[in-house]
Structure 1
């Protein structure tokens, strides 16, 4: 499973990006808030819930203190304009 995340203002060429763009914000009271975003190509047959659970797991792996955090915002949309 490959996730593309961006931390700079330089865009990644479209050919190297995933099929969907995502944004996820988690907040843990007393421990702060984190927002991650990027592109991802879900596996065939994946549901929106599958994508949410996978992406939340990805963010929590980066920030284990957010394991019990509340999801404040989640967006998953086609990466095509």
Structure 2
């Protein structure tokens, strides 16, 4: 049973991206959104490239956030 649980956990981790991210955007007095997930950026990507891509992804889902302020951004390796 223990090895089966470990195997499931390992396969779930393998399905996740190499980095975990959190991004919060705010339109002062009008609204805020926080989104998070995992992603494996291209090998040549910089932190700025990842930020711009993720921000664009959020704005595509929430066009009203196009001119929002970035309140929080975190990008970390997705491992303990």
Distance across 2 between alignment mates of 1:61 and 1:28: 16
Q: Distance in 1 between matches of 2:43 and 2:30?
A: 36
Structure number with larger C-alpha Rg: 2
How far apart are the structure 2 equivalents of 1:13 and 1:67? 33
Moved over 4 A (4+): none
Q: 1:27, 1:73 → 2: CA distance?
A: 9
Q: CA deviation at 1:31?
A: 2.2
Instruction: Give the total of aligned pairs.
Output: 70
- The answer to which structure has the higher helix fraction is 2
Gaps in structure 1 of 5+ consecutive residues: 1-11
Uncovered stretches (5+) of structure 2, i.e. residues with no partner? 1-10
TM-score by length of 2: 0.83
Question: RMSD value over aligned CA atoms?
Answer: 1.2
Cα distance in structure 1, aligned partners of 2:72 and 2:27 = 13
Q: Write out aligned runs for 1:1-12 (5 A).
A: none
Normalising by structure 1, report the TM-score: 0.82
